[in-house]
Amino acid sequence: MMQRDDEFYIGYEAAMPPGMRRVVRTWVACASLLALVIVAVVTLASHPLAVSRFVYGETRAWTGYLVRLPAPSLLVPGERGFRRYWLVSRGKQGADRVLRGLADGWVTVRGSEIARDPWRMVEVAEAASSRGAAARPAPPAAEPGPGRRVSLRGEIVDSKCFLGVMNPGERTVHRDCAIRCLSGGVTPMLAFTDEGGEHQLAVIVDAAGIVPFPAIRNRVGRPVEVSGQLFTVDDLLVLRLDSTTGA
């Protein structure tokens, strides 16, 4: 039975009774504070997106020296020597399709730039031997630097998406896409942090200079611990892979 001091609110009245109003305000304030806490926790737990870019739909030309090992690259001359641009084809394809029939040497490629500092890549639409190539000196022959045995923790990524075509182009959210890119011939790389806290990328190869896709398929897009021989080729880090295990 309703008591004389019980509050009762009808929706078409101008205001709630004082007691009911206090309860509603308290619950609204608590719900708002909880929402802010959830947003803050999710934000702090999220990884910041990489500063990268893919100039989709805009093409330009680069002339440089084509090398295929350890990964298809174009060495473009500049004021400070040669700069390396890794090469891929359009779609989920490596560079071999568009470079077919071209010998290593001076070529001109046309395509769209992919960038994630300090690395560069070109999604090649077309490529042809460069005119006047015979008159140009080749860059110095790349000699592998002294290697060292390493055990590294990082992530196996497909270089095309990781460098800027997708953002994020890494971790579990990108795993299915990475597997398809790597199966299409995009160069696999290990993204890791070195002893000095610097982010690094190393091209993954085996003893024959290539990595069969089935050997790394189940390790893509998740933390891994890898062991092998790490060495340099000019400005490029190369990891000759021995094994991978879940980190």
Q: Give one DSSP letter per residue of 20-41, joined into a string.
A: HHHHHHHHHHHHHHHHHHHHHH
For the chain, 247 residues long, give each residue's pLDDT as a single digit of tens. 445 556 666 666 667 777 777 777 788 878 888 888 777 665 555 556 667 788 888 999 999 999 998 899 999 998 878 899 999 999 999 999 899 889 889 999 999 999 998 999 999 999 998 876 666 777 777 677 778 899 999 999 999 999 988 878 788 888 999 999 999 999 999 999 988 888 999 999 887 777 778 888 888 988 999 899 999 888 889 999 886 665 5
Helix (H) or strand (E) holding 159: helix 159-160
Q: Which residues of the chain does CATH 2.40.50.140 include? A: 53-135
Pick the CATH number of 148-246 from 3.10.450, 1.10.600, 3.30.110, 2.40.50: 2.40.50
What is the structure's pLDDT at 117?
86
What is the structure's pLDDT at 133?
63
Helix (H) or strand (E) holding 82: strand 81-89
Query: Are 98 and 88 within 8 A, CB to CB?
Result: no
What is the structure's pLDDT at 145?
72
**Residue 202, beta-bridge partner list:** 190, 237
What is the structure's pLDDT at 3?
52
Q: Please give the span between the terminal C-alpha atoms of the chain, in angstroms, as a whole number.
A: 66
Burial class (CB in 10 A: 0-12, 13-18, 19+), 142: middle
The H-assigned helical ranges of 17-109 are 18-45, 96-99
CATH topology of domain 53-135: OB fold (Dihydrolipoamide Acetyltransferase, E2P) (2.40.50)
